[in-house]
Amino acid sequence: MNERLRNVPDLPTHYLTEEQQALADQASKFFFSEFHHLNAEMDDTDDLSPSIFPKLGEMGYLGLNVAPEFGGAGLDFTSACIITEELSRASAAIGLSHVAHDNLCVNNIYRNANDDLRRKYLPGLCDGSLIGALGLTEPGAGSDALGSMRTTARKDGDHYVLNGSKIFITNGPIADIVLVYAKTSPEKGAKGISAFIVETDTPGFKVAQKLNKMGFRGSPTGELVFEDCRVPAKNMVGKPDGGVAVTMSGLDLERAIVCFNAMGIARRALEISIDYAKTRQQFGKPIASFQMVQAMLAEMYTEIEAARSLSLRTAAMCEGLEEGEGGRGEIHKLTAAAIFKAAAATSFVLDRAVQIHGGSGYMRDTEVNRLYRTGRVLEVGAGTQEVRKLIISGELLKNI
Amino acid sequence: MNVQAEPGMAALAAIKANYSLTPEQRQIVDHVDRVAREILHPLQEKMDAEEWWPEDLFRQMGELGLLGITAPEELGGSGQNEFTQALVSETISKWNPAVGLSHGAHDNLCLNNILRNGSDEQVRKYVPGLCSGELVGALGLTEPGAGSDALGSMATGAVRDGNDYVINGSKIYITNGPIADVILVYAKTDKAKGAKGISAFIVETDNPGFKVAQKLDKMGFRGSPTGELVFEDCRVPASAMIGAENSGVSVVMSGLDLERAMVASVCVGMAERALELALDYARIREQFGKPIASFQMVQSKLAEIYIEVETARAFGYRALAACVGLPKGAGGRGEIHKLTAAACLYAGEAFNKAVTEACHIHGGSGYMQDTEINRLYRANKLLEIGAGTSEVRKIIIAEELLRA
């Protein structure tokens, strides 16, 4: 019956295609062989080896969404998400530094900057000779990032003079290029924000401190200070006072791709939990033979695959999102929902993973403990869970 | 990694399309949504209050094109795949969960099972009537002593006698049981072989050895008739057997995988309706001088319901897409077994959370039996129990995870 419907290749799968799976497998193999063994030392020292970005660049894993003419890989957004997931699975910390560089900084420049800026900065960012970061959050501006932003950029001839500080900036301590948001018209509130490319050797820029994180150690995070930091006016990305569109559409993409940082971490936690449950013996048999442990494993799998399904759909819906689009409507709601779910699922999975590992999971130098310490911030960064829910309810209650 | 040219718009559109309904599916959903809202939604109240099933409803559904979604057009069906069948289920369940339940039991558990596993003769004999709604279908697996351990504890037996089989035993919690004309019944043909000694039969309910022992009184999904069925020396011809003798387990298990994926869709449809009702109420209901939707604690609940609905939908669609084209006899093991169990587990619990919060937003009025949200609230729990309890689903998942 229904022969014509059987195994029809062009029916939607609502999941990875075979080609996408092959991309994931290839990336996974490389990331595990190159990076997985570095995790313990990165966690101890909280340093990122200088060889990592060039290596990622050499293998074509930087500038994932950037056109080849600028040195990028020319991939679609979903492919970038798939690579992010596999990288995070092999190394959560490198996955975080990579996404801050490649999505928050590089892709934002690629999407919003003019050709001169693209030609100047993208080739170096794509081959790994330049490291990128993005500066939005400030000591006094977290959830209310736009409204409470105090960093300013004052026009002075053909320069802007930046003053203020940015905090919790991934790659901040090692970045060569920071995409910085600052208020060019403070009286206009969120509508008076502009985006700038700041080279970190500019006088007036400094790394006030490298911060000491609980997890994702090895991915350097810092506080940045701008003191009469003079940036050429041509380094503005987008239009004067046009920063809010850049931020908001960038944030939608950020939320969509960070789902995959979370999913990589959660999948790895499940993998090592299954291994542990099969080998660990108590009461004369593997703990995997007990139903309470089986229930935990089943719940972990279910949460991961549920969240992944939504994340993948969300990534697909981000394809072809135009510059300045996003920050409102269906995609704004969907990306907020996907990251909420991915983060909540990951927290749940990590908690159970440590539970299955028992006492050993509480030891800092185990892989599961390193993963466990990453989880918390996924519910905080790129908009807290609360901000995500405000976005969703705001959209749901619109158009009454 | 190979550097490639920037993806063109067509490539990006293809990625989006891979996570979207096809134009044909969209068209079908729009049609079903309209008729379900106009015709099935108004029936809710009386069905619930009086545990009433409108007598000609199956025939009416047949006329509206809601039956035989997976059956070929020459047999009176719509010629669609199981995914589209699930979309129909989802949409009907959104507007009338009781009809959705009866529809699913008829169209998927009975009709589609006969279609997948029956002989040409059986298909020709029953499917046209099931498609038009002249015949009502049901499936009989669960027994008083056989719930989660449906196969191992099955006590209903079928003994070969000449050209017939004689069935004895009983089945419980059978959706459509009290009104069915055709029931797909599982029975043990070789008790010594345990689960591997089960066969499937088509039983016509005018058989003198068949009777409905009782119609059961459910908390929710009221109106969809549920019953206990008894087989007393119920004699059926050997030609009523589906597939080979003692091959019932593969029919059950592959059918169950699909059933679980369908159950996920029923949950999604109902959860979506719970969200709509909660949104409407939160906008209109005023307290402290403003709509309760303006309070963050209510906004938080609305957002969480939305997240549950969309997560369950994305996961459910993925599981359904994986069921399409599943060869006969496949399923009941491996990736598809794990995936459908997980999607169903997730959706059942997501609906529980969604409808509990939606009911809560309705305050005191949500506790009143004659409100739509309360009817939906009472539909809760069943789908964490039927088609395998949440615990059975977890056992399936854990087994598959640990097998590797």
Count Cα neighbours of A272 within 13 Å in the Cβ-side half-sphere.
24
Residues A30 and A55: beta-carbon distance below 8 Å:
no
What span, in angstroms and rounded, lies between the C-alpha atoms of A83 and A31? 10
Annotated catalytic residues of A are 254
Structure tokens at A171: 């790659």
Residue B259 annotated in active site: yes
pLDDT of A326 reads: 72
* Residue whose entry in the numeric block shows the structure tokens 């001839």: A157
DSSP3 helix / strand / coil % (chain B, rounded to 5): 60, 15, 25
Whether A14 sits inside 8 A of B320 (CB atoms) is yes
- Number of helices and strands (H, E) in chain B? 13, 10
Residues of chain A with pLDDT under 50: 1-7
As to burial, measured by CB atoms within 10 angstroms (0-12 exposed, 13-18 middle, 19+ buried), residue B322 is buried
**From the list A76, A295, A306, which residue is nearest B12 (CB)?**
A76
pLDDT of A7 reads: 44
pLDDT of B5 reads: 61
**Catalytic-role residue among B90, B143, B259, B400:** B259
Whether B299 sits inside 8 A of A274 (CB atoms) is no
pLDDT of A85 reads: 98
As to burial, measured by CB atoms within 10 angstroms (0-12 exposed, 13-18 middle, 19+ buried), residue A209 is middle
Chain B stretch 109-148, residues whose beta carbon is closer than 8 A to a beta carbon of chain A: 115-116, 123
pLDDT of A281 reads: 96
Q: With beta carbons under 8 A apart, name residues in chain B contacting A317.
A: 16, 19
CA distance A7 to chain B (A): 5
Q: What is the pLDDT of residues A235-259, one digit of tens each?
A: 999 999 999 888 887 889 999 999 9
DSSP three-state, residue B216 = coil
Whether B306 sits inside 8 A of A396 (CB atoms) is yes
What span, in angstroms and rounded, lies between the C-alpha atoms of B92 and B105? 13
What span, in angstroms and rounded, lies between the C-alpha atoms of B263 and B347? 8
**From the list B296, B306, B338, which residue is nearest A392 (CB)?**
B306
pLDDT of A399 reads: 66
What span, in angstroms and rounded, lies between the C-alpha atoms of A170 and A101? 9
Count Cα neighbours of A392 within 13 Å in the Cβ-side half-sphere.
31
CA distance A121 to chain B (A): 19
3-state secondary structure A92-123: HHHHHHHHHHHHHHHHHHHHHCCHHHHHHHHH
pTM: 0.94
Q: With beta carbons under 8 A apart, name residues in chain B contacting A27.
A: 1
End-to-end CA distance of chain B: 29
Give the residue from chain A lying closest to B284, CA to CA: A400
CA distance A353 to chain B (A): 14
pLDDT digit string (tens) for chain B, length 404 residues:
545 567 888 999 999 999 999 999 999 999 999 999 999 999 999 999 999 999 999 999 999 999 999 999 999 999 999 999 999 999 999 999 999 999 999 999 999 999 999 999 999 999 999 999 999 999 999 999 999 999 999 999 999 999 999 999 999 999 999 999 999 999 999 999 999 999 999 999 999 999 999 999 999 999 999 999 999 999 999 999 999 999 998 888 878 899 999 999 999 999 999 999 999 999 999 999 999 999 999 999 999 999 999 999 999 999 999 999 887 767 788 999 999 999 999 999 999 999 999 999 999 999 999 999 999 999 999 999 998 999 999 999 999 999 97
Q: Which amino acid is at B46?
A: K
Q: With beta carbons under 8 A apart, name residues in chain A contacting B401.
A: 274, 297-298, 301
Whether A12 sits inside 8 A of B19 (CB atoms) is yes
What span, in angstroms and rounded, lies between the C-alpha atoms of A377 and B201? 56
DSSP assigned state of A178:
E
What span, in angstroms and rounded, lies between the C-alpha atoms of A240 and A184? 7
Whether B6 sits inside 8 A of A274 (CB atoms) is no
What span, in angstroms and rounded, lies between the C-alpha atoms of B344 and B355? 16
**From the list A27, A67, A297, which residue is nearest B398 (CB)?**
A297
What's chain B's Rg over C-alpha atoms? 22
